[in-house]
Amino acid sequence: MDNVCVVVADGKGARLFLLQESDAPRAPVRLVARGTLSNADLRSRGRSVTGRVRTETNTNREAGPVHPIGAQRERHRIELERRFSVEVARKAAALAKNWATGSVVIVADPRMLGFLRETVRATLKPRIQVKELAKDYAGLTISRLRDQLAEDGIVPAHDGGAT
């Protein structure tokens, strides 16, 4: 079996798995967890230092007229996710460091996939392929994730035997 690393990520966190052959008759492969990362910069998103919920307008009288600040927050969130993608790419590259060949499968929501795509490719050896799936599977359990990846053709499907 080829070396396969599966990265499942969104802006808040990432889980990394290796694909291994299984002795189970109905599931030829299994996902083995190899790391979890969380984007600590986004943990407190939406809260002020005092713990109060932030509003989407500037209500400080000294700051001048009221104006929306949502666009500025969105740019900040995008930058935090871009930085997090670099950390995820380094972790995936560390897992594939000793491989001569293999593939890294990135499963992420479309925006995070855009950040991870080039970052992961730049950190891997040239003979390691990068495959992509634009789906948000970050919240799935390992067994449900394996089933979804089988439905999407990323991992071999379950054997059709009786339950």
Of 43 and 11, the structure prediction assigns the larger pLDDT to: 11
Q: What is the pLDDT of residue 76?
A: 82
Secondary structure (3-state) at 3: coil
What is the CATH architecture assignment of 4-45+67-151?
A: 2-Layer Sandwich (3.30)
Question: Is-above-0.85 flag for pTM?
Answer: no
How far is residue 30's CA from residue 18's CA, in Å, rounded to a whole number?
8
Write down the mean pLDDT value for the chain.
Answer: 83
How far is residue 14's CA from residue 7's CA, in Å, rounded to a whole number?
7
Q: Domain spans of the chain? A: 4-45+67-151
Residue carrying structure tokens 């910069």: 41
Three-state secondary structure along 5-20?
A: EEEEECCCEEEEEEEE
How far is residue 7's CA from residue 33's CA, in Å, rounded to a whole number?
10
Q: Tell me the pLDDT band of 48, cut-offs 50, 70 and 90.
A: very low
